[in-house]
């Protein structure tokens, strides 16, 4: 695990809510492509259910991070692409099950018109820094 420094409120910037403004670390940079709510067989999980989709997406992120020798502790940035900002509470709940409040990464949330397939409600990408 890389030593990460989180700065939720740099001087002159309003305090962050649900994310850190700045996260920095040393080690190997890992980029995880946007993950969607597909199970390992390629089936959509939770069609029409943002909570179920968020849980599957975070499970897919966990598996991708593990493949790179990383965990959610190494994540420095999450980007949320959602078809409706009303899905953010479900995403925050799924994130809270994996990332404690004292380890929040930097984050961006973007509402999009659509994703690759109409049944997808969200796509989440991650960046991590892994030691050594």
Q: How far apart are CA 90 and CA 56, in angstroms?
A: 12
Least reliable range by pLDDT among 6-15, 58-67, 80-89, 114-123? 6-15
Q: Are strands 22-25 and 106-111 parallel, antiparallel or unpaired?
A: unpaired
Q: Which residue in this structure is represented by tokens 């994310």?
A: 19
Tell me whether residue 121 is in a domain: yes
CB atoms within 10 A of CB 122: 26
Closest by CA to 64, choosing from 80, 50, 75, 79, is 75
Q: How far apart are CA 26 and CA 124, in angstroms?
A: 23
Identify which has the larger pLDDT, 118 or 12: 118
Residues across the chain: 132
Tell me whether residue 87 is in a domain: yes
Tell me whether residue 10 is in a domain: no
Q: How far apart are CA 99 and CA 28, in angstroms?
A: 20
Domain containing residue 32: 26-130
Tell me whether residue 4 is in a domain: no
Tell me whether residue 50 is in a domain: yes
Closest by CA to 96, choosing from 128, 126, 55, 35, is 55
What integer best gives the mean pLDDT of the chain? Answer: 93
Least reliable range by pLDDT among 23-27, 74-78, 105-109? 23-27
**Domain of 85: which CATH number?**
3.30.1330.40
Tell me whether residue 15 is in a domain: no
- Per residue in 36-68, pLDDT (tens digit) is 999 999 999 999 999 999 999 999 999 999 999
Tell me the average pLDDT across 3-19. Answer: 83
Domain count of the chain?
Answer: 1
Give me the pLDDT at residue 2, please.
Answer: 61
Q: How far apart are CA 122 and CA 86, in angstroms?
A: 11
The full DSSP string for 49-100 is -HHHHHHHHHHHHHHHHHHTT--GGGEEEEEEEES-GGGHHHHHHHHHTTS-
Tell me whether residue 21 is in a domain: no
Give me the pLDDT at residue 17, please.
Answer: 83
Tell me: pLDDT of 19 over 80: yes
């Amino acid at each position: 695990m890389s030593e990460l420094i989180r700065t939720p409120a740099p001087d002159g910037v309003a305090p962050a809510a649900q994310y850190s403004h700045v996260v920095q670390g040393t080690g190997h940079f890992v980029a995880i492509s946007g993950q969607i709510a597909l199970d390992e067989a390629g089936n959509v999980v939770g069609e029409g259910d943002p909570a179920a989709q968020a849980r599957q997406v975070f499970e897919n992120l966990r598996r991708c991070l593990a493949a790179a020798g990383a965990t959610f502790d190494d994540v420095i940035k999450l980007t949320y692409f959602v078809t409706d900002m009303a899905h953010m509470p479900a995403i925050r709940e799924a994130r809270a099950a994996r990332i404690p409040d004292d380890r929040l990464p930097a984050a961006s949330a973007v509402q999009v018109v659509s994703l690759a397939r109409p049944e997808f409600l969200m796509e989440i990408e991650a960046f991590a820094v892994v030691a050594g």
